[in-house]
Amino acid sequence: MWLTAVYYDGRQARPHPVTLCVEGEKLLLQGRDIVRREALASLKIPPPLGSTPRLILFADGARCEVADRQGFAEMLQDAGSSAVAGMENSWWYALAALLLTLSLLVVAYLFGLPYAARAAADQVPVYLLERMDTQFFASLDQTLLKPSTLSAKRRQTIQDGWQRLALPPGEDRSANIEFRASPALGANAFALPGGSVLLLDDLVSLASNDQEILAVLAHEMGHVHEKHALRQMLQASVIGLAMAWYIGDVSSLLAVAPTVLLETRYSRDFERRADAFAAELLRANGIPVSRLADILEKLEAAHQTAVAKQPVESVEAMDYLSSHPNTEERIKRLRGL
Ligand SMILES: [Zn+2]
Protein backbone atom coordinates (compact mmCIF):
# COMPACT_ATOMS: atom_id res chain seq x y z
CA MET A 1 0.00 0.00 0.00
CA TRP A 2 1.47 3.34 -1.11
CA LEU A 3 0.40 6.79 0.02
CA THR A 4 1.28 10.12 -1.54
CA ALA A 5 2.75 12.75 0.77
CA VAL A 6 4.76 15.95 0.81
CA TYR A 7 8.32 15.82 2.11
CA TYR A 8 10.42 18.72 3.47
CA ASP A 9 14.11 18.05 3.94
CA GLY A 10 14.37 20.34 7.00
CA ARG A 11 16.97 22.59 5.32
CA GLN A 12 14.93 24.22 2.57
CA ALA A 13 11.28 25.24 2.57
CA ARG A 14 10.76 23.51 -0.80
CA PRO A 15 8.09 20.78 -0.76
CA HIS A 16 8.90 17.45 -2.47
CA PRO A 17 6.08 15.18 -3.62
CA VAL A 18 6.85 11.63 -2.45
CA THR A 19 5.20 8.27 -1.94
CA LEU A 20 5.30 6.27 1.28
CA CYS A 21 4.93 2.69 2.35
CA VAL A 22 5.79 0.54 5.33
CA GLU A 23 8.07 -2.46 4.86
CA GLY A 24 8.33 -4.52 8.02
CA GLU A 25 9.64 -2.25 10.72
CA LYS A 26 10.73 0.44 8.27
CA LEU A 27 9.18 3.37 6.49
CA LEU A 28 10.12 3.68 2.83
CA LEU A 29 9.88 7.12 1.25
CA GLN A 30 10.50 7.76 -2.44
CA GLY A 31 10.46 10.81 -4.64
CA ARG A 32 12.52 12.42 -7.35
CA ASP A 33 16.15 12.34 -6.10
CA ILE A 34 14.93 11.19 -2.65
CA VAL A 35 14.96 7.76 -1.12
CA ARG A 36 14.76 7.26 2.61
CA ARG A 37 14.38 4.05 4.54
CA GLU A 38 13.95 4.69 8.26
CA ALA A 39 13.15 2.47 11.22
CA LEU A 40 9.61 3.26 12.40
CA ALA A 41 10.95 3.41 15.93
CA SER A 42 13.21 6.34 14.99
CA LEU A 43 10.30 8.45 13.75
CA LYS A 44 7.99 10.69 15.69
CA ILE A 45 4.37 10.54 14.58
CA PRO A 46 2.24 13.04 16.52
CA PRO A 47 -1.37 11.97 17.12
CA PRO A 48 -4.04 13.35 14.77
CA LEU A 49 -5.11 16.91 15.58
CA GLY A 50 -8.25 18.41 14.05
CA SER A 51 -8.36 18.07 10.30
CA THR A 52 -4.70 18.93 9.72
CA PRO A 53 -2.48 16.57 7.68
CA ARG A 54 -0.69 13.85 9.66
CA LEU A 55 2.97 14.50 10.36
CA ILE A 56 6.00 12.25 10.26
CA LEU A 57 9.01 13.80 11.96
CA PHE A 58 12.47 12.48 11.13
CA ALA A 59 15.31 12.59 13.62
CA ASP A 60 17.38 14.86 11.31
CA GLY A 61 14.72 17.60 11.20
CA ALA A 62 13.06 16.51 7.95
CA ARG A 63 9.31 16.07 7.98
CA CYS A 64 6.56 14.63 5.89
CA GLU A 65 2.90 15.67 5.66
CA VAL A 66 0.26 13.12 4.75
CA ALA A 67 -3.07 14.55 3.67
CA ASP A 68 -4.78 11.14 3.47
CA ARG A 69 -5.40 10.74 7.19
CA GLN A 70 -7.55 7.65 6.88
CA GLY A 71 -5.04 5.91 4.59
CA PHE A 72 -2.21 6.80 6.91
CA ALA A 73 -4.01 5.41 9.96
CA GLU A 74 -4.64 2.14 8.08
CA MET A 75 -1.04 1.99 6.95
CA LEU A 76 0.19 2.34 10.52
CA GLN A 77 -2.22 -0.32 11.75
CA ASP A 78 -1.17 -2.73 9.00
CA ALA A 79 2.43 -2.13 9.99
CA GLY A 80 1.48 -3.59 13.35
CA SER A 81 3.98 -1.46 15.12
CA SER A 82 2.53 -1.78 18.57
CA ALA A 83 3.87 1.51 19.90
CA VAL A 84 2.60 3.56 16.99
CA ALA A 85 -0.65 1.66 16.64
CA GLY A 86 -1.19 1.91 20.38
CA MET A 87 -0.85 5.67 20.28
CA GLU A 88 -2.96 5.83 17.19
CA ASN A 89 -5.84 3.94 18.75
CA SER A 90 -5.69 5.76 22.01
CA TRP A 91 -8.41 8.31 22.10
CA TRP A 92 -7.09 9.36 25.47
CA TYR A 93 -3.67 10.06 24.07
CA ALA A 94 -5.10 12.42 21.47
CA LEU A 95 -7.18 14.19 24.09
CA ALA A 96 -4.18 14.53 26.40
CA ALA A 97 -2.12 15.93 23.53
CA LEU A 98 -4.83 18.45 22.75
CA LEU A 99 -5.11 19.49 26.41
CA LEU A 100 -1.35 19.83 26.60
CA THR A 101 -1.33 22.05 23.52
CA LEU A 102 -4.11 24.19 24.97
CA SER A 103 -2.40 24.57 28.33
CA LEU A 104 0.86 25.50 26.62
CA LEU A 105 -1.01 28.22 24.73
CA VAL A 106 -2.51 29.51 27.97
CA VAL A 107 0.88 29.51 29.68
CA ALA A 108 2.43 31.30 26.70
CA TYR A 109 -0.37 33.86 26.84
CA LEU A 110 -0.09 34.42 30.58
CA PHE A 111 3.66 34.38 30.97
CA GLY A 112 5.38 34.37 27.60
CA LEU A 113 3.55 37.39 26.23
CA PRO A 114 4.14 39.70 29.22
CA TYR A 115 7.78 38.64 29.26
CA ALA A 116 8.20 39.30 25.53
CA ALA A 117 6.38 42.63 25.82
CA ARG A 118 8.69 43.67 28.64
CA ALA A 119 11.78 42.80 26.62
CA ALA A 120 10.38 44.55 23.56
CA ALA A 121 9.44 47.67 25.57
CA ASP A 122 13.10 48.24 26.43
CA GLN A 123 13.97 48.22 22.73
CA VAL A 124 11.53 50.91 21.64
CA PRO A 125 13.50 54.15 21.01
CA VAL A 126 12.52 57.28 22.97
CA TYR A 127 11.64 59.36 19.90
CA LEU A 128 9.12 56.71 18.86
CA LEU A 129 7.55 56.73 22.33
CA GLU A 130 7.19 60.49 22.25
CA ARG A 131 5.62 60.25 18.82
CA MET A 132 3.10 57.76 20.24
CA ASP A 133 2.01 60.33 22.83
CA THR A 134 1.73 63.04 20.16
CA GLN A 135 -0.35 60.63 18.08
CA PHE A 136 -2.52 59.84 21.10
CA PHE A 137 -3.42 63.49 21.64
CA ALA A 138 -3.78 64.15 17.91
CA SER A 139 -6.46 61.48 17.60
CA LEU A 140 -8.32 62.11 20.87
CA ASP A 141 -8.17 65.89 21.28
CA GLN A 142 -11.47 67.44 20.18
CA THR A 143 -13.25 64.09 20.55
CA LEU A 144 -12.87 62.32 23.88
CA LEU A 145 -10.59 65.00 25.26
CA LYS A 146 -11.34 68.73 25.55
CA PRO A 147 -9.07 71.59 26.56
CA SER A 148 -8.66 71.92 30.31
CA THR A 149 -10.86 74.51 31.95
CA LEU A 150 -8.46 75.00 34.84
CA SER A 151 -6.99 78.48 35.03
CA ALA A 152 -3.42 78.95 33.82
CA LYS A 153 -2.48 79.83 37.40
CA ARG A 154 -3.99 76.63 38.82
CA ARG A 155 -2.17 74.53 36.23
CA GLN A 156 1.10 76.32 36.96
CA THR A 157 0.73 75.62 40.68
CA ILE A 158 0.33 71.90 40.00
CA GLN A 159 3.25 71.94 37.53
CA ASP A 160 5.45 73.72 40.08
CA GLY A 161 4.56 71.24 42.81
CA TRP A 162 5.41 68.40 40.46
CA GLN A 163 8.70 70.01 39.41
CA ARG A 164 9.71 70.50 43.04
CA LEU A 165 9.41 66.81 43.89
CA ALA A 166 12.84 65.27 44.37
CA LEU A 167 13.06 62.17 42.15
CA PRO A 168 14.91 58.95 42.94
CA PRO A 169 18.52 58.89 41.70
CA GLY A 170 18.80 58.08 38.00
CA GLU A 171 15.20 59.05 37.28
CA ASP A 172 14.77 61.95 34.88
CA ARG A 173 11.76 64.20 34.88
CA SER A 174 10.64 63.09 31.45
CA ALA A 175 7.06 62.69 32.63
CA ASN A 176 5.30 65.91 31.68
CA ILE A 177 1.76 66.68 32.70
CA GLU A 178 -0.89 67.17 30.04
CA PHE A 179 -4.01 68.90 31.35
CA ARG A 180 -7.31 68.05 29.67
CA ALA A 181 -11.01 67.85 30.48
CA SER A 182 -13.17 64.86 29.61
CA PRO A 183 -16.77 64.47 30.76
CA ALA A 184 -16.71 60.91 29.42
CA LEU A 185 -13.63 59.82 31.37
CA GLY A 186 -14.51 61.69 34.56
CA ALA A 187 -11.99 61.92 37.38
CA ASN A 188 -8.99 60.11 36.02
CA ALA A 189 -5.31 60.18 35.17
CA PHE A 190 -3.40 58.09 32.65
CA ALA A 191 0.25 57.32 32.05
CA LEU A 192 1.02 57.26 28.32
CA PRO A 193 3.76 55.16 26.68
CA GLY A 194 6.02 58.14 25.96
CA GLY A 195 5.98 59.31 29.57
CA SER A 196 3.28 61.97 29.42
CA VAL A 197 0.77 61.89 32.24
CA LEU A 198 -2.74 62.87 31.24
CA LEU A 199 -4.42 64.63 34.17
CA LEU A 200 -8.15 65.31 33.86
CA ASP A 201 -9.88 68.37 35.37
CA ASP A 202 -12.39 66.29 37.34
CA LEU A 203 -9.60 64.62 39.27
CA VAL A 204 -8.11 67.99 40.15
CA SER A 205 -11.46 69.23 41.47
CA LEU A 206 -12.03 65.99 43.37
CA ALA A 207 -8.78 66.31 45.30
CA SER A 208 -8.99 68.01 48.71
CA ASN A 209 -5.42 69.29 48.47
CA ASP A 210 -2.49 69.41 46.08
CA GLN A 211 -0.65 66.64 47.90
CA GLU A 212 -3.39 64.26 46.75
CA ILE A 213 -2.82 65.36 43.16
CA LEU A 214 0.91 64.86 43.55
CA ALA A 215 0.23 61.39 44.98
CA VAL A 216 -1.74 60.47 41.83
CA LEU A 217 1.01 61.90 39.61
CA ALA A 218 3.59 59.91 41.58
CA HIS A 219 1.55 56.74 41.03
CA GLU A 220 1.28 57.45 37.28
CA MET A 221 5.00 58.12 37.18
CA GLY A 222 5.45 54.65 38.63
CA HIS A 223 3.61 53.29 35.58
CA VAL A 224 5.85 55.42 33.33
CA HIS A 225 8.95 54.25 35.17
CA GLU A 226 8.09 50.60 34.54
CA LYS A 227 6.79 51.24 31.01
CA HIS A 228 3.47 49.66 31.91
CA ALA A 229 1.42 51.46 29.24
CA LEU A 230 3.86 50.47 26.52
CA ARG A 231 4.08 46.88 27.72
CA GLN A 232 0.31 46.61 27.92
CA MET A 233 -0.04 48.11 24.46
CA LEU A 234 2.53 45.76 22.96
CA GLN A 235 0.67 42.81 24.44
CA ALA A 236 -2.65 44.10 23.21
CA SER A 237 -1.27 44.64 19.71
CA VAL A 238 0.11 41.11 19.50
CA ILE A 239 -3.32 39.77 20.40
CA GLY A 240 -4.95 42.42 18.22
CA LEU A 241 -2.74 41.59 15.25
CA ALA A 242 -3.52 37.92 15.64
CA MET A 243 -7.23 38.75 15.72
CA ALA A 244 -6.87 41.13 12.75
CA TRP A 245 -5.03 38.46 10.82
CA TYR A 246 -7.78 36.01 11.65
CA ILE A 247 -10.53 38.43 10.69
CA GLY A 248 -8.45 39.79 7.81
CA ASP A 249 -8.67 43.48 8.70
CA VAL A 250 -5.67 45.34 10.10
CA SER A 251 -6.86 48.89 9.46
CA SER A 252 -9.56 48.74 12.11
CA LEU A 253 -6.96 47.67 14.64
CA LEU A 254 -4.78 50.72 13.92
CA ALA A 255 -7.79 52.98 14.22
CA VAL A 256 -8.60 51.85 17.75
CA ALA A 257 -5.00 51.85 19.07
CA PRO A 258 -5.26 55.18 20.96
CA THR A 259 -8.47 54.23 22.75
CA VAL A 260 -6.94 50.91 23.81
CA LEU A 261 -4.69 52.96 26.07
CA LEU A 262 -7.69 54.43 27.86
CA GLU A 263 -9.51 51.14 28.20
CA THR A 264 -6.49 49.40 29.59
CA ARG A 265 -6.93 47.76 32.94
CA TYR A 266 -3.61 47.21 34.55
CA SER A 267 -2.91 43.99 36.34
CA ARG A 268 -2.82 43.84 40.11
CA ASP A 269 0.94 43.48 39.89
CA PHE A 270 1.38 46.64 37.79
CA GLU A 271 -0.76 48.61 40.27
CA ARG A 272 1.17 47.29 43.24
CA ARG A 273 4.45 48.34 41.65
CA ALA A 274 3.19 51.80 40.74
CA ASP A 275 1.85 52.23 44.30
CA ALA A 276 5.19 51.14 45.76
CA PHE A 277 7.01 53.60 43.51
CA ALA A 278 4.63 56.38 44.55
CA ALA A 279 4.92 55.53 48.26
CA GLU A 280 8.71 55.78 48.09
CA LEU A 281 8.63 59.03 46.12
CA LEU A 282 6.09 60.62 48.48
CA ARG A 283 7.94 59.55 51.58
CA ALA A 284 11.25 60.89 50.21
CA ASN A 285 9.51 64.24 49.74
CA GLY A 286 7.90 64.37 53.18
CA ILE A 287 4.38 63.78 51.84
CA PRO A 288 2.25 61.25 53.80
CA VAL A 289 1.64 58.06 51.79
CA SER A 290 -1.96 58.17 53.06
CA ARG A 291 -2.61 61.00 50.57
CA LEU A 292 -2.70 58.42 47.82
CA ALA A 293 -5.15 56.28 49.80
CA ASP A 294 -7.29 59.39 50.44
CA ILE A 295 -7.62 60.31 46.77
CA LEU A 296 -8.17 56.66 45.80
CA GLU A 297 -11.13 56.52 48.17
CA LYS A 298 -12.63 59.62 46.58
CA LEU A 299 -12.01 58.30 43.05
CA GLU A 300 -13.64 55.00 43.91
CA ALA A 301 -16.68 56.76 45.38
CA ALA A 302 -16.93 59.10 42.37
CA HIS A 303 -16.77 56.20 39.93
CA GLN A 304 -19.33 54.19 41.86
CA THR A 305 -21.70 57.14 41.62
CA ALA A 306 -20.99 57.57 37.91
CA VAL A 307 -21.68 53.89 37.27
CA ALA A 308 -24.83 53.91 39.44
CA LYS A 309 -26.21 56.85 37.47
CA GLN A 310 -25.93 54.98 34.20
CA PRO A 311 -28.74 52.85 32.81
CA VAL A 312 -27.94 49.17 33.29
CA GLU A 313 -27.04 48.46 29.66
CA SER A 314 -24.31 51.09 29.56
CA VAL A 315 -22.63 50.01 32.80
CA GLU A 316 -20.26 47.87 30.81
CA ALA A 317 -19.32 50.83 28.63
CA MET A 318 -18.62 52.82 31.76
CA ASP A 319 -16.39 50.12 33.08
CA TYR A 320 -13.21 51.67 31.74
CA LEU A 321 -13.65 54.49 34.23
CA SER A 322 -12.03 52.26 36.77
CA SER A 323 -8.79 51.76 34.93
CA HIS A 324 -7.28 51.04 38.34
CA PRO A 325 -8.90 47.86 39.64
CA ASN A 326 -8.74 46.34 43.10
CA THR A 327 -8.96 49.79 44.62
CA GLU A 328 -10.10 48.64 48.04
CA GLU A 329 -7.20 46.25 48.34
CA ARG A 330 -4.78 49.01 47.33
CA ILE A 331 -6.22 51.50 49.82
CA LYS A 332 -5.80 48.98 52.62
CA ARG A 333 -2.21 48.28 51.66
CA LEU A 334 -1.32 51.96 51.35
CA ARG A 335 -2.86 52.69 54.76
CA GLY A 336 -0.68 49.97 56.22
CA LEU A 337 2.54 51.50 54.86
ZN1 LIG B 1 -2.35 52.72 38.15
Cβ partners under 8 Å of residue 325, min gap 6:
265, 266, 268, 271
Q: Residue 194 to residues 183, 198, 203, 223: CA-CA distances in angstroms?
A: 24, 11, 22, 11
pLDDT of residue 319 exceeding 50: no
Q: In this structure, how many other beta carbons lie within 10 angstroms of the beta carbon of residue 177?
A: 17
Q: How many angstroms separate the alpha carbon of residue 233 from the centre of ligand 1?
A: 15
Q: How many angstroms separate the alpha carbon of residue 200 from the centre of ligand 1?
A: 15
Predicted pLDDT at 147: 95
pLDDT, tens digit, for every residue of 125-160?
Answer: 877 888 888 888 988 887 889 999 999 999 999 999
Domains of the chain: which residue ranges? 3-89, 124-336
Q: How many angstroms separate the alpha carbon of residue 251 from the centre of ligand 1?
A: 29
pLDDT, tens digit, for every residue of 16-55?
Answer: 899 998 888 889 999 888 899 998 888 888 887 777 889 9
Domain 3-89 class in CATH: mainly beta
CA distance 158 to 52: 61
pLDDT, tens digit, for every residue of 289-315?
Answer: 999 999 999 988 887 777 666 654 444
Q: Which of 77-81, 254-258, 274-278 is most confident?
A: 274-278
Are 148 and 181 spatial neighbours (Cβ–Cβ below 8 Å)? yes
Those residues whose beta carbon sits under 5 angstroms from the ion ligand 1 are 271, 274, 324
